[in-house]
Amino acid sequence: MMQDPQAVEEAGLKIIDQEAGAHSFHPGQWSVVRQVIHATADFDFAREMVFHPAAVEAGVAAVRFGADIVADTPTVDVGIAKDRLRKYGGTVWCFISDDDVILKSKEVNLPRTAVAMEKAAETSDGSIYAIGNAPAALLHLIRLVKEGKAKPSLIIGVPVGFIGAAEAKEELLSISTPFITCRGRKGGSAVAAAIINALSLLATHS
């Protein structure tokens, strides 16, 4: 049994390439998809992942530029490999537990995840947003983009769930900002983090 983590990952990725078979993704997109499959052991993502045509290039460029990553929840934050991001000056932020976010959420009767998107939009332009859990966060971010109040370099919108997740992801398909998503109910923290990790690997090795 292999013990070296890198060897285990490489062996897993080879299995994914073999079992997935033919697909229509270009090499950069496939690097992202296979990383998601590796994180979830779910080959459905080979059929459900959707990319804006410029998404991978925009994400890699943003990582290399040192763009910050905005995570909707701490579970996305902890899954991101931060060493590669730090190499370029990038930091991961998650504002959901900030005192000002909690207070404003109560005042305006909005979910904390949505208010956290507002804070992120006010903090910096050009961030990569990684939303793996909260459909409300994704919908609010889309609204902020349409209103010109948020200017992400890339939106990773993969919230998981039965209420609103699929609908929020379909709404994401309607905007011109580069995005990576997956249709349907599946998604989650591991998926969002895997996408970021795939992009940082591409930034480092391509």
Three-class DSSP category at 155:
strand
pLDDT class of 10 with cuts at 50, 70, 90: confident
**CATH placement of domain 46-205:** 3.40.50.10230
The pLDDT tens digits of the residues spanning 12-52 come to: 889 999 998 889 999 999 999 999 999 999 999 999 999 99
**Any idea where the domains of the chain sit in the sequence?**
46-205
The closest of 193, 157, 203 to 35, measured between CA atoms, is 193
199 in Cβ contact with 69 (< 8 Å):
no
pLDDT at 1: 53
What pTM was computed for the model? 0.95
Q: How far apart are CA 196 and CA 90, in angstroms?
A: 12
Positions annotated as catalytic residues are 38
pLDDT at 3 over 80: no
